[in-house]
Structures are given as structure tokens and as C-alpha cells.
Chain A
């Protein structure tokens, strides 16, 4: 009405892809772009790094133990003379993989349970009691039992490292979906009574498409937030498990493992906790920034401002 663009001109421009707009908006978020850049850098470093920095993470050079940063060992060595840079790079592979996969598992589970519980009134009670049950479970004993029960079977089936990787991802995923489910359910409950959902019902949209088209896009913000926090949580839980001797074998480096190994030498060699600690916190920070930018970019009300 207020726009005076001739129709012929307007009709020539078909609706463009939403993802293009999302990307345009994402690019304007400076923190998100830096975060994304750093995250890609970390992923490349931990995947390709070991091919460039070819010292074996397990190689013990006892004469060079406890060395500070030198040309041969830029980040120094540990008490057995293993190169810290190589260990951080290799440990990153496992930590990142565990973090991302466990987060995805928890996210999918949490979002699915939250949406279903919020949308279908009949399932709300049972699903939320299940969530309460998981929240009430003492986590550490549960992890101990699960790992005791399944470690050997999985190791036999998939080899020691893949087996334990699957187990840890599963265990972390299964014990960290509850917060997401609760938040998502609350949002869905409020959303379900909004007029556009009723409008869609008056059109005759079946539940499945209602959820995909109207509910999920509108609960994206809490989901992205829990996703970014989830990666951090998963990395930290994995290190706690390693610390308890329940995670990966003790000579197998992960960021959490390196951190805990170094705490014994905190007084003599404080710089040794720095590297894995820095890796964990910077990765988590970058993921948080990405999530922040993504959330803004996915919201059309913020987009274009």
C-alpha cells in the first residue's frame, strides 16, 4: 500500500532462499564470525595438525622431560617427556568429537521429548516424569554402573577406542538432555496457545507439519543456546570421567585428561595446565559466539537490523 514499486518489477523477483538472508545476517555478527573462524581453525588443527606436527603423542623422550617451551617442543613436555603440542592436538580430536556428538545426541533427544511433551497433552505427564526421574538420578554412580556393565562388551565389539568413545558419547548424551527438554517443553506450551498455531489448526494442518512448520522454528533460540552450552558441558564431563579412570585409557590424551594430569604439577609448572585449559575455554567460547550469532540470524525480527 505504501510501497509504490510497480507490480511488474516486483513480480520479477521471486521469493529468495531464507538461508541466504540467514547467512547475510550471520556475517554481520562480528563475534560469531570470529567464533566461526576460530572453531574452524581448531577443527583443522586437531584433524590435520598431527600430520604437520609429526611427533607421536605417546613417544616418551625421558631426557627432555619437564622442559619449558623450546624450539623442539614449542609448548614444552610433560613429566615423561611427551610433547605437549602433539598431545593437545591429538587430545583435541577426541574431545571435540565427544563434545559435538554428545551435544547432538542430547539436543535431539531433549528437543524431541520437549516438543512432544509440550504439544501432546496426553504424553506430557509421562514424559516429564521421565525427565524428572533422569534429573533425580545421581549422575556419577549411574555413569559408573553403565560403564562397568558395558565397557568390556563394547570394547570387544568395536575395539578399545571406538568402543569407549561410543560409550562415553552415549552416557553423556543420555544424562544431559533433561534441561533442554524442560526448556523446550515450557516454550512449546506457551507457543501452542498462540493465535498463529490456532490459525494453522483452522487451516487443518496435521500435528506433524504443525510441529515442523510452526513450533520448532519458534523454539530454535533456546535450542541453540542449550546446544552451545552442551558442547562445553560434554567436554568437561568427558574430562571428569577420564579423571575418575572411567574414560579413555590413561595414556590416551584428551583435553580433560591433560588438564587433570597437569594439576599435579600446578606448583612447579603452572604453564602446563594453560594449554589444554586454553583449548577447552576458547573452543567453548567460540561455540557460544557461533550460537549467539546463529540465534540472531535465525530470528527474522532481529535480522536486517
Chain B
């Protein structure tokens, strides 16, 4: 799947994360919530992969599963050449410094009873044998890197604003020189002026430390700003994966088209002329996904085939993948996509 010559930093193949449902007196296993159902993606070194989708589509679960914060149901995850999909706890612990996470709710992700120095220092205590003074020095360095005043080290999380708390979370994630960071909606809980600050900080840090991000968000404009490539999720599956400009310029999958048409246009004249694709109905339950294409219940273009056969997630153009029966027939005909070929949505 990798188009670049070098092998990707993170390689996810057929990842499945199902949560069992137990019911009745005997707690029988009656079904699964398929939060993440067979997704495959690559994240190349120093790139940002945006992962978008509506609430409840499994974005956050996917992010956590990639870091093996859950015991995954199936598939494989390779990070920096090591397969971590069913590695034992102790070995995983030693790999933890490579991959870190930034959380959505900066209030909830910081222990209210620890000082900032304690929170940022925790990864250092776990993985490095530093003296107290060395550790403090490193904590100060990290605080400088994320733009926190050193004098805040003794304070507790509740004394900070949302943006500052998120900086603390970022400093903690940076402490061990990670290569790969999963940003799980890092800006969703912040107000707009702070969002820009945090996103710019993330970009600066990426440049400075050569970080690779999996940027999970439902804010399409922010993803357009920060991501190099974008994956769109719907009901536990990736429906489209493409480089940013192609995806925003000419979305292929009907769901992506609908999602993008919902992004408001700042110019009121153009906004009033724009045609919106309005989806009807609700997202089906992930415990009882429809037969065939996951999107067939709401898709404006759905036909008989969509209710019967699950579309394959396949490459339709260079670096563009989608799972829809009606997309990229041209690409299938011409096995090798030609230069300059445009794929009509």
C-alpha cells in the first residue's frame, strides 16, 4: 500500500477491534460491537495522517487500538518494524517510549492530584534512570518546548486553562522522544482561538523532532490544515484514504462527499449557491452493521449491489483508496493509472 519507497513507520493491516456484548442471566456472548472492523493503513515517517469521521464511527478506538491500549481482536500492527499486535506486556512496555498519545479532554487526561512536574516526569520515571535533578531539568526543557512557563512546575492541573492543560499533555507525550504520536481529537475540547495555538504547536514540534502523527479529528477544516493524507472512517471501516488535496478537491466516496459538503463555506454568496448533500437517517448500530456496503442505508447512490456485496477497499488512483462499487471503474480498466487522469466523483 505504501507508495513511497521506504517502508512506513506504522503499518496497520486488517485491524479489528470488537467489544463483546453479554446478555441474559448467564452473561452469554450474544454479539459484538464492531468498533473497528478491518481497517488497513500506512503512516509514513514524519507525515501526518488525518483520521476523520462522525462521532461514534470508531476513530478513537482505532487510535487506541493502534497503540495497543486494547487487546485487539484481529489484524496486525507494525510500528517501526516491530509487530506489536500480540506482543507480551513486558516487551510492549519497552516499546512504549516510541509511541505516545495526546488525549481529547485535557482535564480528564491529567491526574488531578499530581503536579505538572510529576505528570510530565512520569514517563521519565518509568523509562529512564535519571537523578531527581536531571529529571527536573528534562521536565523544564519539555515545558520550554511546549511554551509553558517553568514556574508552573509546582502547580496542579486544575489551575490551568484548557490550552495550557493540553500543552502539559503534549509535553508528557514528548518526554520520551517518541517517533509516533496518536493525537486523539486534541483540539476538540478547546475553544477556537486556542485550537490554532495547539495545532501550530503540534506542527512546530513535528518539524523540530521529526514526529509522525495520527491526527484523529472530526474537524475537517483543521485536518485539511494539518494532515498530509486523510482517511475517512464510517461505521468502523475506512471508506476513503487519499492525499489531502485530492481528497478535499475531488472526494470519491459518497460519504466523503456528503461530509465535505457539510463543512460551512465562509463566503455567504457561495454558501447560498452551494449544493449540500443531506444524508437521511442515522448511523446503523456497530453491533448490527448492514449487509453489503456499510453505507448502503444512507447512501444517495445505493443500488442493489450495495445491499449484497461488500465493496473492496482498493486503490483507484495513485495513493487514493476507496471502498465503493461505483468509483474508479476507469481505474480498474486501466490497471496502471495514467498521468493526468482525473477521476470524476
Contact = CB atoms under 8 A, between A and B. Distances in A.
A, B from the same assembly: yes
Interface in B145-170: 147-154, 156, 158, 163-164, 169
A138 interface: no
Interface residues of B, number: 44
Interface in A1-57: 1, 3, 5, 7, 9-11, 13-16, 18
A299 to B, nearest CB: 7
Query: Taking chain A's interface residues, is the majority helix, strand, or loop, or is none over half, making it mixed?
Result: helix
Interface stretch (B107-115, B203-211, B243-251, B314-322): B107-115
Interface string B94-118: 1011011101110011111111010
Contacts of B154: 13, 15-16
B230 to A, nearest CB: 24
A10 B143 CA distance: 12
Given A11-B140, A203-B96, A196 B151 contact: no
Contacts, number: 99
Given A15-B115, A300-B113, A301-B112, A199 B103 contact: yes
B149 A218 contact: no
B59 interface: no
A15 B136 contact: yes
A3 B149 contact: yes
A196 B172 CA distance: 11
A202 interface: yes
Nearest to B127: A204
Contacts of A194: 108
Contacts of A140: none
B96 A199 contact: no
A9 B172 contact: no
A58 interface: no
A195 B154 CA distance: 22
B108 A195 contact: yes
Contacts of B176: 203
A205 B124 CA distance: 11
Contact of A204 (B112, B126, B163): B126
A200 interface: yes
A112 to B, nearest CB: 20
Residue from A10, A200, A202, A301 having most chain B Cβ neighbours under 10 A: A202
A218 B111 contact: yes
A205 B113 contact: no
A204 B96 contact: yes
B123 A1 contact: no
Given A195-B105, A199-B169, A10 B113 contact: no
Contact of A202 (B69, B152, B164): B69
A206 interface: yes
Nearest to B140: A11
A199 B113 contact: no
Contacts of A205: 122, 126
Contact of B149 (A10, A199, A214, A301): A10
A13 B99 CA distance: 32
A268 B114 CA distance: 59
A217 B113 contact: yes
Interface string A195-233: 110111111111001000110011000000000000000
A196 B113 CA distance: 11
A108 B192 CA distance: 47
Contacts of A15: 115, 117, 136, 153-154
Contacts of A195: 103-105, 108-109
A301 B158 contact: yes
A174 B322 CA distance: 63
A206 B89 CA distance: 9
A196 B158 contact: no
Nearest to A216: B113
Which of B94, B99, B172 is most buried by chain A, counting CB atoms within 10 A of its CB?
A: B172
B225 interface: no
A209 B169 CA distance: 20
Contacts of A214: 111
Nearest to A205: B126
A214 B114 CA distance: 9
Nearest to A207: B89
B136 A9 contact: no
Given A3-B151, A199-B103, A201-B69, A301 B156 contact: yes
Contacts of B150: 7, 10-11
9 contacts: A7-B149, A9-B151, A196-B110, A198-B69, A198-B109, A199-B103, A204-B126, A206-B93, A213-B122
Given A5-B151, A198-B103, A301-B112, 13 more contacts: A3-B152, A9-B151, A11-B140, A15-B136, A15-B153, A195-B104, A196-B109, A199-B103, A199-B169, A200-B122, A203-B127, A299-B112, A303-B156
Closest 7 interchain pairs by CB? A10-B151, A204-B96, A195-B109, A300-B156, A204-B93, A195-B108, A10-B150
Interface of B: 64, 67, 69, 92-94, 96-97, 99-101, 103-105, 108-115, 117, 122-123, 126-127, 136, 140, 147-154, 156, 158, 163-164, 169, 172, 176
